[in-house]
A = this chain, B = another copy of it.
Amino acid sequence: MPDSHLLEFFDSPSDQAFYIEHVNEEFTSVCPKTGHPDFGTITLRYQPEAVCVELKSLKLYYQSFRNEGIFYEAVTNRLRDDLAEAMSPRWLQIVTDWRGRGGIRSRITAEYGEVPSRFTTVHGDATAGT
């Protein structure tokens, strides 16, 4: 069951602005309609205000979706909400890329705060190269 209390944080090592991106290519949840597993890549980008997310805890948080029945669109918004609330970053962006279902592959993007223009350019189609 998704559990944002698994997330841990550490103090940002600098007062100056810097940008962080973590790409998890091993995300899986379950389609609530068919019961079949979904496989995706989750990209988290953010600028820390005071804290940074600790990587191992982020991994465990992602793993907590393993047997959750949840749509692509919902999981993307859920990740955005959980991480934004827990970290209070300057801004945050979640991009989820999903392997094909019936020949269709998908990318969903959700954001919190004002994401700099450098992170709002689409590069290639969804999950190309996955």
Given A20-B73, A100-B103, list of 14 further CB < 8 A pairs? A13-B74, A13-B77, A14-B110, A19-B109, A21-B125, A22-B105, A25-B100, A37-B63, A55-B101, A116-B120, A118-B120, A122-B123, A123-B123, A124-B124
Does A99 lie within 8 Å of B63, measured CB to CB?
A: no
Does A39 lie within 8 Å of B118, measured CB to CB?
A: no
Interface string of A90-121 (1 = CB under 8 A from B): 00000000011111111111111000111111
Q: How many residues of A contact B (CB 8 A)?
A: 63
Q: Nearest 4 pairs between A and B by C-beta?
A: A26-B103, A14-B77, A18-B110, A13-B74
Interface string of A21-35 (1 = CB under 8 A from B): 111111010000100
